[in-house]
Structure 1
Amino acid sequence: MLSSSHIPRLAKKLYWVLGGVASVFIFLIWFVPIFVEDQMEVISLHHWLETESQRYANSVESGEEIAYPNPLEFEIYWQNKPKPNWLDAFSSPGFYEMEEFDNDRHFVVAQMPGRDELYYIVFKDEADDYLDEYEDKLQVFITLAVLILLFTVIVLSVYLARYFARPLERMAAKVKYMEPQQPDFQVDTTFYEIASIEKTMLACKQRINNYFEREQDFSRFSSHEIRTPLMVMQGSAQLLEKVPNQSPLQLKAIQRILTACDDVSLLTDTFLLLGKETIEAQFFEDIVLASVLYEQIDVVTRVLQGERPECNIQINSDSVVRAPRSFLVIAFRNIIKNALSYAHSKVQITLDSHRLVVENDFEQSECQKGYGYGLVILERIGAKLEWSLTIEQLPAGYRVSITFPD
């Protein structure tokens, strides 16, 4: 994703687009008249040469007084008579143009009537440049027109870019009011499309506010309404535990109720903290990882029934992590419980400096639901506290590791 400093601004993009389109049109406005004028000059010269040539050919063919081309404008040469050497290269009838030094020579080559001989009618030096003064004036006029048009286009491009970018900039400034604690903004743009976007943004903001209020209400109500019946259940179970002459089955049921109350209370605390945008400092404490690890291993082994796999524990460091205690308890309990539940014969638990690794010899084929380490809760806790959670499938089992920040 591009950082904000590398994202191009819309106004600059409009400047370039409008400037590029305007440059193309300005080039066409400058080039087309000059090209047309040049072609018109060629057509005019060809027409003049053709008229003089036709007049001369008609006079020769009729046997009347020969009408030579205007000697002030033209020179006439014949193929079998002395002529400039450069004319020898042109042996086919037609109109031609040749550059001689800094001058363009326009001429026509034609067939003598009734003879197998060519004649050449050539403009005298600079006689065919009678339009040069007009061309100079035209180029000056076009240059001035292009400069005026260029200035107008630049001003218009800047105006249009700002005109269209300003409503978008105002809309972008309203994004900061999308947060729930900010007041509603006004839809005040004059453009229908942008107004539609702002109305959608405002509707989404109001929906976010409603979600946020409902989440706050749920957190507040659940914090009170769930804990109240839990305390009643826990107190009642403790009173039942003091009743004399109870059977082992009754005592076991009472203990399960107390354990379930503790679990629900722990989960409630964890979910309420996960729902907060930021966790207050009062919920953090310095916790020795090894003590929590032994505590949860003991809790899980007491809860699991039947034959349990061998559990090897290796503590290499007395690491201390600053975190909410409920997060560590939930994370360790989920990993250990699932590792012991799905292991064939052994579980290896290793605690190094700021890193917990749990391995077992689980086989995927034996459980269609997969390994199941309480991933949703673990991932949420890890994302909240910037813990690194890694799950690896080994040739003969699985490995789950949590790396705690220093």
Structure 2
Amino acid sequence: MSVLSQLTNSVKHMNYTQRLMLAIGSYTFSVMLVVMLGIWAFIEYSEPDDSQDVAFAIHHTVSLLNQTSSEQGNAPTHTEYFDLYLTQSQLPTALRDIVFKPGLTQLENGSSIMMELNPSTQKPYYLLFNTEHDVSLIETEFDDILFIVAAVILSTVLTLLMVRWMAKNLATPVITLKKQVETFDINKGHFPRMDRDDEIGQLNHAFGDLIQRMYEFTRREQDFTRFASHELRSPITVIRGNFDILRESLPDSPIHQRIVTRMNTAIQRVSSLIDGFLWLGRENHDTYMPIEAISAARLESMINGLTEHLSPESSYRLTRKISDINWNVRPLMLSILLDNLIRNALMHTDQAVCLSAHGKQLTITNTIGNPTDAEQLGIGLQIVSRICDANHWEYHIDHSETQFSFSLQVNDIKGSE
């Protein structure tokens, strides 16, 4: 992984405060560096030019050399950049015994000395260059750079500390709002409102309004489910009572027996569906529902019960491949799921529908006669999705214009759930 990728991943894992500090700190460092360099360049540009002083010093030295023929006793001349000695005896004590050749000679202390012959007298003169001036210039430049860097770093650190304090104060209401959302129980009342007039307060109020609308919608849905189930139980009870009377009064014949069996199965299934949808409608599914082991034979029997009311042609189109299964599930939930999937598959094709079950995998596949049916899968799949979520089953839907496939991973349910 490259350095750039590592930096990118590090930035992605930063929180809000860290990202704010990084952004403002980088911006402050860049701005301060540019400003300091600009100030330094302006000061350097404004400093007086040394070339004029050098020119005057050279002019003065030339004048002294021209006067040497008449004034042999002239004393040494000292300038800011070099010293002029007209005779060797005028040199500093450490240099008097050294024999210098014409030209520039480097000295051990880092300075240099030039010996040349005076054109007028043909006698040697000496120019001892002072390197301390150049060294002081270099040291001054280096000190200026160090000062600039130190000032930029100090200002950046102070800015980061200020940004951290500001970010912490700015993030406090956001963190408070996050904790309110995480700990809020929608069944215990209204969402707590912040007494703020800024954007955070507006966001808090928007969250409160949204949660309130969601709560009212959920309550209406739950009330409708409870009211519908309550009202349906009465007519189901009436139908069951009258069905028992009708069953006793009907003549004993194979046709009547088949009719009675189907009606009894339908009444029992409606009662089970009411209990099942009530269980699905609860948020925490805290109502107990029986959990049983489902074998291959039990699954075959369940499918036969779901398809016995279908036409012979539809039953014939359903092919089954069931082997080696042992599921620990809620039979009612599995029954509702299979009923919706099988009816949905048979409705959208006139070809064969294949149901296969092996291990923990259940798959239902069918062709699609009309391409538009691929997008018209009905409310049955919504019920299936709700059942899978409630039972922690994993499913995958794969459909094209010509084929639809539903795959389910049946995870066992513990008896304590």
Give your verdict on TM over 0.5.
yes
Are 1:364 and 2:368 counterparts?
A: yes
Counterpart position of 1:291: 298
2:181 to 159, 175, 178: 175
Structure 2: distance between partners of 1:188 and 1:378: 44
SS of 1:302's equivalent? coil
Structure 2: distance between partners of 1:343 and 1:165: 57
Alignment of 1:168-247 (within 5 A): 168-181=174-187, 184-189=191-196, 192-244=198-250
Counterpart position of 2:334: 328
Amino-acid identity (%): 20
Deviation digits for residues 274-322 of structure 1 (CA, Å, limit 9, x no counterpart): 2223323721321324324314314413332557526665553362423
SS of 1:197's equivalent? helix
User: What amino acid is aligned across from residue 276 of structure 1 in structure 2?
Assistant: R
Structure 1: distance between partners of 2:306 and 2:153: 87
Structure 1: distance between partners of 2:59 and 2:241: 128
CA deviation after TM superposition for structure 1 residue 193, in Å: 1.5
CA contact (8 A) 2:333 2:387 kept: yes
CA contact (8 A) 1:308 1:340 kept: no
The verdict on how the C-alpha distance between 1:380 and 1:212 changes in structure 2, with shifts beyond 3 A counting, is closer
CA deviation after TM superposition for structure 1 residue 11, in Å: 1.7
Deviation digits for residues 175-210 of structure 1 (CA, Å, limit 9, x no counterpart): 224441355323034x61111111111212222332
Are 1:38 and 2:32 counterparts?
A: no
2:309 to 294, 302, 314: 302
Deviation digits for residues 26-55 of structure 1 (CA, Å, limit 9, x no counterpart): 4345433433332233x5324556789999
Alignment of 1:4-15 (within 5 A): 7-15=13-21
Deviation digits for residues 325-358 of structure 1 (CA, Å, limit 9, x no counterpart): 2211112333444556677676655443334445
- TM-score normalised to the size of structure 2? 0.63
Structure 1 gaps, min length 5: 56-69, 76-82, 87-100, 104-121
Counterpart position of 2:390: 384
Alignment of 1:1-400 (within 5 A): 7-41=13-47, 43-46=48-51, 48=53, 72=79, 125=130, 135=140, 139=144, 149=155, 152-181=158-187, 184-189=191-196, 192-244=198-250, 260-280=266-286, 282-289=288-295, 290-304=297-311, 308-309=315-316, 313=320, 315-317=322-324, 319-323=326-330, 325-338=331-344, 349-358=355-364, 363-365=367-369, 369-370=373-374, 374-390=380-396, 400=406
User: What amino acid is aligned across from residue 185 of structure 1 in structure 2?
Assistant: P
Structure 2: distance between partners of 1:202 and 1:146: 46
Aligned length: 349
Structure 2: distance between partners of 1:364 and 1:25: 65
Structure 1: distance between partners of 2:19 and 2:199: 20
Structure 2 gaps, min length 5: 1-10, 61-76, 83-101, 112-126, 413-417
Q: State the Cα RMSD in Å.
A: 5.1
The verdict on how the C-alpha distance between 1:249 and 1:372 changes in structure 2, with shifts beyond 3 A counting, is farther
SS of 1:389's equivalent? strand
User: What amino acid is aligned across from residue 309 of structure 1 in structure 2?
Assistant: Y
Counterpart position of 1:110: none
